[in-house]
Amino acid sequence: MDRHPAPGTPASDPPSSLISFVEAAPSPFHAVAEAAARLQAEGFEQVLEHLPWPTAPGRHFLVRDGSIVAWSTEGRSPSAGFRLIGAHTDSPNLRIRPRPDRRSVGFAQLAVEVYGAPLLNSWLDRDLGLSGRVAVTHDRSAPTIELVRVDEPLLRIPQLAIHLDRGVSAEGLVLNPQTHLSPVWGLDPSLSISGFLAERLDVPSSSIVSWELMLHDLCPPAVLGADHSLLAAPRIDNLVSCEAAVGALIDAVGRGADADTTVPVICLFDHEEVGSESASGAAGSILVSILERISIAAGLDRDDHLAALAGSLCVSADGAHATHPNYAERHEPGHQILLGAGPVLKHNESRRYATDPLGVAVVVEAARETDVALQQFSSRGDMPCGSTIGPVTAARLGVRTVDLGVAQLSMHSARELCSATDPLLLRRLLGQILTSSPLPGR
């Protein structure tokens, strides 16, 4: 059980690229903007869905709301298949309702709705900012979308004092999502969300039409531990995988390629935390249509395209549960997972993960070639695991899929914890997978 951390970057080297990505991405829309900026700096050009598809080989990306898909056909042909890395841009949090303004015993509050399955207690007594997107009209013209990010201590959800909840330590904290989570944001009775947004965007209050806003913790990411081996940050699930996927694609396109090289693709989806059933989720049409248009632009017919999918591979990159030192019994005894011991292959026979033996073989070979250690996760038989975009993507495309990710603690907390080295190893491994050889068809 006592294993050394996987080889790679020394624990004393902070994962600066990941930290800057997390800091830039308090919402899925900001995550997409940061990914797009990094890709554009490497020569990727944006494609718009409603315009003709580019037929010349090149580096491209497409944005749909809180999702981004990027690929390169430079020196590559989809006839050799695709190598896909899937991740998700959203994280569990608290989101502002359409009519949020509330007053209670002298406090101005905002009504929120729980998004996903956050650890609700982790949102208490934190200084919280506000981020997301706002629809704005200008003199009755078509509405525009404005990104909003307020990194100021605007909001706080105060916990009830122990004197008024004497049983909390012995019986546990119970929070009602409807009545206990409305944050306070001042005492001024005239405070309103539309007025606040109008002031920040420098438009009349009547121009604020709608919003998709969420709270975010203002405490910045930090490398911690006496040995600097750990990273504490918000949204590790799943911005770690998003940042690694973007970096892996940039690394992959910098290598040589030929017509027999698979097309590398990354797909960072929104709405995974609520089931992926949306226009920008993994269960939607975005990836299906993009892959088909890539094939059509390369001169493939539908039969060629389906054959290419049969020889493709997708890695669903998402967080994995590290064994908690205070709750080691919650893990399957033969599958304990350590921080700093490398990325984790995730298995589940109920198909909550999509991993299969041939896919594992590809990942294991890529790990061998890059000197990256792997761990294997299987949940306890009396404790069902969560799920990922893996099974969704496998079912939607018929593409062989493997679930893989970085181990972490405090998953779904407002602030999570992982190794400072594992994210860098994940990027290295994903970059190798994106350039791996075509698979035999199904």
Q: pLDDT for 205-234, tens place per residue?
A: 999 999 999 999 999 999 999 999 999 999
Pairwise CA distance, residues 302 & 316, whole Å: 25
Q: How sure is the predictor about 4, in pLDDT bands with cuts at 50, 70 and 90?
A: very low
Q: Is the pTM of this model over 0.85?
A: yes
Q: Structure tokens of 163?
A: 């004197």
Residue 12 confidence (pLDDT): 45
Average pLDDT over the chain, rounded to whole? 94
The label of the residue with tokens 């997390």 reads 22
With CA atoms as reference, report the closest residue to 427 among 251, 191, 216, 220. 251
Instruction: Tell me: pLDDT of 10 over 70.
Output: no
The full set of domains in the chain, from first to last, is 16-91+234-434 (3.40.630.10), 93-217 (2.30.250.10)
With CA atoms as reference, report the closest residue to 134 among 199, 62, 38, 184. 199
With CA atoms as reference, report the closest residue to 149 among 280, 28, 15. 28
Q: How sure is the predictor about 1, in pLDDT bands with cuts at 50, 70 and 90?
A: very low
What is the pLDDT averaged over residues 198-202?
96
Instruction: Tell me: pLDDT of 147 over 90.
Output: yes
> Residue 122, SS3?
helix
- Give the containing element (helix H, strand E) for 303: helix 302-310
CA dihedral 324, 329, 335, 338 (to 10 degrees): 20
Cis preceding linkage at 93, omega within 30: no
Identify which of 22-31, 159-168, 352-361 has the greatest average pLDDT.
Answer: 22-31
Pairwise CA distance, residues 381 & 366, whole Å: 30
Q: What are 318-330's pLDDT values in tens digits?
A: 999 999 999 999 9
HSE on the CB side for 335, CA within 13 Å? 17
Residue 8 confidence (pLDDT): 43
With CA atoms as reference, report the closest residue to 91 among 114, 125, 68, 62. 114
With CA atoms as reference, report the closest residue to 248 among 426, 111, 2. 426
With CA atoms as reference, report the closest residue to 272 among 308, 225, 318. 318
Residue 144 confidence (pLDDT): 94
Q: What are 374-407's pLDDT values in tens digits?
A: 999 999 999 888 899 999 999 999 999 999 999 9
Give ∠ CA 360-76-439 in degrees, rounded to 5: 25
CB 318 within 8 A of CB 403: yes
What is the pLDDT averaged over residues 60-67?
98
> Residue 175, SS3?
coil
